[in-house]
Amino acid sequence: MDISVVIPVFNREHYIERAILSVLNQSRAPQEIIVVDDGSTDNTPRILQKYNDRLRIITQENKGVSAARNKGIEAASGTWISLLDSDDEWLPDKLKHAGAFHENNPHYRIFQSDEIWIRNGRRVNPKKKHAKKAGRIFIDSLALCLISPSAVLFEKSLWEEAGRFDPAFPVCEDYDLWLRITKREEVGLDTRPLTVKYGGHKDQLSRSYPRMDAYRVQAMARHLDDETLTDEEWNALTEQMVRKLNILITGAQKRGRETLPYWRMLQTVKAARQKRGL
């Protein structure tokens, strides 16, 4: 199992070194470590240069995390990709256990480990709804993202077949890709917590986009006409779209924001459900 590690980074001078060291200190070394600097303007480039003999550094103008991940994966020579966000870190045996999991479960083309969550410097327990699951998880993944970029490994060929990360999504780009993958693939799960996921800091991307459900609805809308979905999957998809659109409409009305696009999408979904007798 040859693994290429891909770390996208933009202005993360306070965290990137921790992420890099967590990979360099793995008990099982990856085939390569690719860091894509997405146009950083802080001290990030200088920090990367400290490790330029042990990393493959790619620089590009700022295009967002999807473009950065895609750039790194495109350049990867490994058949397997392991992502790590620049503000997270791995425990030392992350890749060793990944290799063992793959040997014992070779049928999975995508799998992930569990995580330890740190929020504002304190460990927190994820809620029940965030619990990772194995197998066919498309339906479970509709409500919120259940695959963590910093915990997942997947075949590079699967990423190519599924259509890559979409740069049009400033957030929820991972949710979008995982839906495209989970509707066709089973997902494996190593229940050991091998990734440390940090949150709560001011530059966390999700803080800049309070209406993330709007992007989740866009991602779900791509599957409305997919005839390969089972009746159960399609019903769950449209139920979740109706639920999220109603929440978006209510929130927009309270704040005096535009609601027409949400109303139009809601009517489209309801009409599709009525056509199916739901």
Sequence spans of domains, the chain: 3-207, 212-275
Residue 205's contacts (CB-CB under 8 Å, 6 or more residues apart) are 65, 170, 171
User: What digits encode the pLDDT tens for the residues 103-130?
Assistant: 999 999 999 999 999 998 899 998 889 9
DSSP classification of residue 123: E
**pLDDT given for residue 119 in this prediction:** 92
Rounded to two decimals, the pTM is 0.92
User: What digits encode the pLDDT tens for the residues 154-204?
Assistant: 999 999 999 999 999 999 999 999 999 999 999 999 999 999 999 876 655
**pLDDT given for residue 200 in this prediction:** 73
> What are the two backbone dihedrals, phi and then psi, of residue 73, each rounded to the nearest 5 degrees?
-65, -40
**pLDDT given for residue 202 in this prediction:** 65
**pLDDT given for residue 199 in this prediction:** 87
Q: Is 3-207 assigned to CATH 3.30.930.10?
A: no
| Residue 2 one-letter amino acid | D
Q: Give, to the nearest 10 degrees, the angle between helix 212-221 and helix 173-182.
A: 30
pLDDT beneath 50: ranges in the chain: 207
